[in-house]
């Protein structure tokens, strides 16, 4: 049964857009990094044993950032590969 003309989208701007899953992952990761940096700042000000308390947190934040950056690069490479634009 064909779709009635009044229900079909008129152009690409009216088509339903789905959110990008990679963008959602990146936003969530950046929010976690921001919270981690805030906790690190609080620990730097209010603890006397700063290096012992902050070192694991700073290492985890750095690893999260590197992982997030690698995820973005991998997503970019996959999108270019799928689109056939290798140049």
- Residue 46 falls within a domain, yes or no? yes
Which of 76, 42, 36 has the alpha carbon at shortest distance from 56? 36
Mind listing the pLDDT tens digit for each residue in 9-19? 566 655 567 78
How many separate domains does the chain show? 1
- Angle, helix 50-83 to helix 21-46, in steps of 10 degrees: 170
Residue-range definition of the domain harbouring residue 64:
20-83
- Residue 59 falls within a domain, yes or no? yes
Question: Rounded mean pLDDT of 75-80?
Answer: 89
End-to-end CA distance of the chain: 43
| pLDDT given for residue 12 in this prediction | 60
**CA distance linking residue 54 with residue 58, whole number of Å:** 6
């Amino acid at each position: 049964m064909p779709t009635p003309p009044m229900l079909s989208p008129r152009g690409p701007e009216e088509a339903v857009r789905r959110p990008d899953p990679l963008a959602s992952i990146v936003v969530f990761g950046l929010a976690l990094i921001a919270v981690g940096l805030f906790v690190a700042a609080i620990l730097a000000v209010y603890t006397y044993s700063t290096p012992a308390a902050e070192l694991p947190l700073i290492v985890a934040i750095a690893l999260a950032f590197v992982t997030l950056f690698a995820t973005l690069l991998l997503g970019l490479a996959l999108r270019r590969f799928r689109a056939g634009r290798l140049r």
